[in-house]
Chain A
Amino acid sequence: MSITVQIPTPFRRLTAGTPTIDCTASNLNDLFAALDQQFPDLKPHLHDEAGEARRFLNIYVNEEDIRFLGGASYAFQDGDEVLLVPSIAGGAN
Chain B
Amino acid sequence: MSTYELRCRECGKTWASQPRNYCEDCFSPLEITYDYDSIRKTVSHELFASRAPNIWRYRELLPLPAGYQPSLPVGYTPLVSAPRLGEKIGSRRLCIKNDAVCLPTLSFKDRVVAVALANARSFGFDTVACSSTGNLANSVAAQAAREGFKAWIFIPSDLEPAKILGTQVFGAELVRINGSYDHVNRLCSQIADEHRWGFVNVNLRPYYSEGSKTVGYEIAEQLGWRLPDNVVVPMAGGSLITKIKKAFDELVLLGLVDPKPVKFFGAQASGCSPISTAVKQYSTEIEPQRPKTIARSLAIGNPADGPYAIKAITKSGGWSEDVSDTEVVESIQLLAESEGIFTETAGGVTLGVARKLIHQDRILPDETTVLCITGNGLKTTDVLADAYQAETPIAPKLVEFEAYLARKLSKSEIFAGETPALPLASKSTVFAAEA
Which residues on the A side are within 8 Å of B239 (C-beta)?
Answer: 91
Residues of chain B from 187 to 219 with CB closer than 8 A to chain A in the complex: 188-190, 192-193, 199, 201-203, 205, 209
* Known contacts A67-B287, A67-B288, A92-B132; is-contact A87 B302 (Cβ 8 Å): no
Q: Are B302 and A90 in contact (CB under 8 A)?
A: yes
Extra contacts, 14 of them, besides A56-B28, A87-B28, A93-B237 (Cβ < 8 A), are A13-B24, A54-B27, A57-B27, A58-B186, A85-B189, A86-B22, A90-B302, A91-B238, A92-B131, A93-B132, A93-B133, A93-B298, A93-B300, A93-B374
Partner of B188, one of A10, A58, A89: A89
How far is B188's CA from A68's CA once the two chains are assembled, in angstroms? 21
Contact size range, B: 35 or more
Task: Identify the interface centre among B27, B179, B346: most chain A CB within 10 Å of its CB.
Answer: B27
Pairwise interchain contact B237-A65, C-beta atoms closer than 8 A: no
Stretch of B70-78, B303-311, B320-328, B405-413 contacting A (4+ beta carbons < 8 Å): B303-311
Residues of A within 8 A of B109 (CB): 93
Q: A93-B136, A93-B237, A93-B298 are in contact. Are A88 and B185 (CB under 8 A)?
A: yes
In the assembled complex, the Cα of A65 lies from the Cα of B239 at a distance in Å of 21
Min CB distance B214 to A, Å, is 15
On whether A92 and B189 interact (CB within 8 A), knowing A87-B21, A87-B22, the answer reads no
A91 touches B304 (CB 8 A): yes
- Which of chain A's residues have a CB closer than 8 A to the CB of B183? 63
Q: What residue of chain A has the Cβ atom nearest to residue B200's Cβ?
A: A92
Asked if B247 is at the interface (CB within 8 A of a chain A CB), the reply is: no
Q: Write out the residue numbers on chain A whose beta carbons fall within 8 Å of the beta carbon of B186.
A: 58, 60, 83, 85, 88
CA distance A8 to B193 in the complex (A): 8
Judged by a CB distance under 8 angstroms, whether A9 is at the interface is: yes
Which A residues are in CB contact (< 8 Å) with B238? 91
A12 to B193, CA, bound (A): 12
CB neighbours (8 Å) of B276 from chain A are none
B236 in complex: contacting residue of A57, A67, A88, A92, CB < 8 Å: A92
Please give me the residue from chain B that is nearest to A9 by CB atom. B193
Q: How far is the CB of A88 from chain B (nearest CB, A)?
A: 6
| A86 / chain B contacts, CB cutoff of 8 Å | 22, 27
